[in-house]
């Protein structure tokens, strides 16, 4: 028995509104009396994309509600991580939908492609909202044929996205949450002072190895040394407020100094009980960023396969724009960059006992 009120029996088709859902596939080619067989596949795949986008936004609602709390409740972080894991699985599914779409050949597409002008996937307001809510900023976006990304949307959709841009993104919320990580400075222990020396030694060894390696050309040597110098500059900025402000202003680091230090600390000491859930959450954000990039790249490859060097139906430069966007439209790049500064567990500075006990489960700490 349940507390639900009595009601008439529910029917499967009525519950899913199948009469409405399955009547939404109207082929433009059929309206002209020359139906193109693969237009049905094209419509179904893209409608399925929009349904999954709706679910992603629904999951982001729950995650952002959790991170909007002041403070964020520890017991809810695991729930947020699981929701992000669901988003990641949906994105993986969206990548595989490209495989289904590619069963349509370029000639099949040409049977109805000209009927789509000027509609384009670039006009998916839900996808643009997903990007924005994750944290893709307007200034980070590639110009859309020298225009802002939302110029080809309807006025109503532009206003909707502008309202989304005025609210904190998930990236903003996670940054604020990281800034409150309590263990970076705890009981007089400053992990950066001990860890910085260990990473400096590691980078120094890498530089020395490149300088004496005779198996690489001078050009390769200088390229690698320049890369390591850039890595050292970024690393130094994690522990120097003035340098961080400079690199932050240049867009080299996006996260605040405190958030960067916390994210690094969580990655390094991920095995401590109190940090396992935060590490899992940061990993899910990286998974989502990576899979979004994979989806964009697969989309670019599919477009090249389908239309070659032609313009997209929305008037974009097609493959070239999509490929460039895949490289540039990243949100959580700072988390990826931190991997540069990870060191083996065997060389990781030990945590002082008070810090280690504070990050243990209560029943374990009492046994120490």
> Residue ranges of the domains in the chain?
12-183+269-331
Q: Are strands 189-190 and 185-186 parallel, antiparallel or unpaired?
A: antiparallel
Report field, pTM of the whole predicted structure over 0.95: no
| CB 251, CB 263: distance < 8 Å | no
Among the residue ranges 79-93, 106-120, 121-135, 173-187, the one predicted with the least confidence is 173-187
* Position 334 confidence tier, pLDDT thresholds 50, 70, 90: very high
The better pLDDT of the pair 69, 145 is held by 69
Q: What gap in Å lies between CA 281 and CA 283, rounded to an integer?
A: 5
Residue with tokens 């309807």: 154
What's 12-183+269-331's CATH class?
A: mainly alpha
* Position 103 confidence tier, pLDDT thresholds 50, 70, 90: very high
| CB 277, CB 78: distance < 8 Å | yes
What residues have CB less than 8 Å from 156, skipping those under 6 apart? none
Q: Quick check: helix, strand or coil at residue 314?
A: coil
pLDDT tens for each residue of 78-96: 999 999 999 999 999 999 9
Among the residue ranges 55-64, 168-177, 261-270, the one predicted with the least confidence is 261-270
What residues have CB less than 8 Å from 99, skipping those under 6 apart? none
Residue 167 has pLDDT above 90, yes or no: yes
| CB 150, CB 158: distance < 8 Å | yes
Average pLDDT, whole number, for the chain?
89
pLDDT tens for each residue of 178-225: 999 887 776 566 666 778 888 888 888 889 999 988 888 999 999 999
Peptide bond into 347 cis (omega under 30): no
Supply the pLDDT for residue 187.
56
Supply the pLDDT for residue 151.
80
């Amino acid at each position: 028995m349940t507390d639900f009120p009595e009601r008439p029996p529910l029917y499967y088709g009525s519950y899913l509104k199948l009469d409405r859902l399955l009547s939404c596939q109207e082929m433009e080619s059929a309206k002209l009396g020359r139906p193109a067989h693969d237009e049905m596949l094209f419509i179904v795949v893209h409608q399925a994309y929009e349904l999954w986008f709706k679910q992603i936004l629904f999951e982001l609602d729950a995650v952002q509600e959790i991170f909007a709390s002041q403070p964020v409740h520890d017991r809810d972080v695991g729930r947020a991580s699981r929701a992000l894991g669901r988003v990641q699985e949906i994105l993986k599914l969206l990548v595989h939908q490209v495989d289904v779409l590619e069963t349509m050949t370029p000639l099949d597409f040409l049977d109805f492609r000209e009927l789509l002008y000027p509609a384009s996937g670039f006009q998916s307001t839900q996808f643009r909202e997903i990007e924005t809510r994750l944290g893709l900023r307007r200034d980070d976006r590639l110009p859309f044929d020298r225009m802002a990304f939302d110029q080809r949307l309807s006025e109503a959709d532009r206003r909707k996205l502008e309202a989304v841009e005025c609210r904190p993104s998930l990236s903003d919320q996670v940054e604020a949450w990281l800034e409150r990580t309590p263990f970076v400075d705890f009981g007089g222990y400053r992990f950066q002072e001990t860890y910085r020396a260990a990473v400096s030694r590691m980078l120094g060894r890498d530089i020395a190895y490149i300088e004496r390696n005779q198996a690489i050309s001078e050009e390769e040597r200088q390229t690698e040394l320049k890369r390591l110098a850039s890595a050292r500059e970024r690393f130094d900025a994690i522990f120097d407020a003035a340098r961080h402000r400079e690199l932050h202003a240049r867009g080299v680091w996006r996260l605040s100094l405190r958030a960067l230090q916390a994210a690094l600390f969580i990655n390094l000491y991920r095995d401590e009980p109190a940090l396992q859930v935060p590490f899992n959450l940061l990993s899910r954000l990286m998974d989502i960023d990576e899979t979004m990039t994979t989806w964009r790249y697969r989309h670019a490859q599919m477009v090249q396969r389908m239309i070659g060097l032609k313009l997209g139906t929305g008037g974009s430069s097609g493959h070239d724009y999509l490929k460039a966007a895949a490289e540039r439209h990243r949100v959580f790049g700072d988390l990826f960059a931190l991997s540069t500064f990870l060191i083996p567990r065997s060389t990781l500075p030990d945590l002082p006992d008070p810090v280690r006990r504070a990050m243990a489960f209560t029943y374990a700490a009492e046994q120490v």
